[in-house]
Amino acid sequence: MIGEWLQELLHLPISGSMIGIILLFIALTCKIIPEKVTLGLESDLELPHKQ
């Protein structure tokens, strides 16, 4: 959403989703978003284990 808004505002030739990924990377690198928040998502992304 923010990436698409920036793309339209600044008339950038990069897709809004790529801008969003770059912004997320910057936020994680600068520790604006704590790593704990992203670690909680890992369990949601894992596939169920077969026994």
Q: Is residue 6 in some structural domain?
A: yes
Output the pTM of the full model.
0.59
- Give the residue numbers spanning the domain of 35: 2-44
Total count of domains within the chain: 1
**What angle in degrees, to the nearest 10, is found between the helix axes of 2-10 and 16-29?**
120
Q: Is residue 51 in some structural domain?
A: no
Q: Is residue 49 in some structural domain?
A: no
Q: Is residue 8 in some structural domain?
A: yes
pLDDT value, residue 28: 84
Q: Is residue 50 in some structural domain?
A: no
pLDDT in tens, 4-51: 998 889 998 999 899 999 998 898 888 887 766 665 555 555 555 555
pLDDT value, residue 13: 92
Q: For residues 35 and 39, what is the distance between their CA atoms, to the nearest angstrom?
A: 6
